[in-house]
Amino acid sequence: KNEVEQSPQNLTAQEGEFITINCSYSVGISALHWLQQHPGGGIVSLFMLSSGKKKHGRLIATINIQEKHSSLHITASHPRDSAVYICAVLPLTSGTYKYIFGTGTRLKVLA
């Protein structure tokens, strides 16, 4: 079992819907990243969190360290949000660069 689990694995939404992607992890962490991977491969870092909540445009990321859980929310979703969203955690014991990655959530937003 992977130490980082994402749900759902696949998600199809209609344009304008509010979307939530979840990430649960089983190790103590010092940071969590949400990444976006578009078709073709390129990966963009959306957020780095160690506590609380961050907002950037229509994207909101939250983390609950005690519950070992993070969520990524997309408000007013748009077809251009279609991508794979990857959660990555930095375990406390692993040094400063050995992230553990989830398998990703594949999001498709229909017009």
Partner 1 sequence: ETGVTQTPRHLVMGMTNKKSLKCEQHLGHNAMYWYKQSAKKPLELMFVYSLEERVENNSVPSRFSPECPNSSHLFLHLHTLQPEDSALYLCASSQSPEREGQGTQYFGPGTRLLVL
Q: Which is nearer to partner 1, 7 or 45 (CB)?
A: 45
The tokens of 103 are what? 């398998």
Check if the beta carbon of residue 31 is closer than 8 Å to that of residue 50: yes
The tokens of 58 are what? 């229509």
Query: Which residues contribute to the site for partner 1 (CB under 8 A)?
Result: 2, 4, 30-31, 33, 35, 40-45, 48, 50, 86, 88, 90, 95-104
| Beta carbon of residue 22, minimum distance to partner 1 (angstroms, whole number) | 16
The tokens of 46 are what? 């959306």
Helix/strand/coil for 26: coil
Closest by CA to 89, choosing from 46, 32, 26, is 32
Q: Which is nearer to partner 1, 8 or 16 (CB)?
A: 8
Check if the beta carbon of residue 61 is closer than 8 Å to that of residue 48: no
| Beta carbon of residue 8, minimum distance to partner 1 (angstroms, whole number) | 14
Q: Which is nearer to partner 1, 10 or 75 (CB)?
A: 10
| Beta carbon of residue 102, minimum distance to partner 1 (angstroms, whole number) | 6
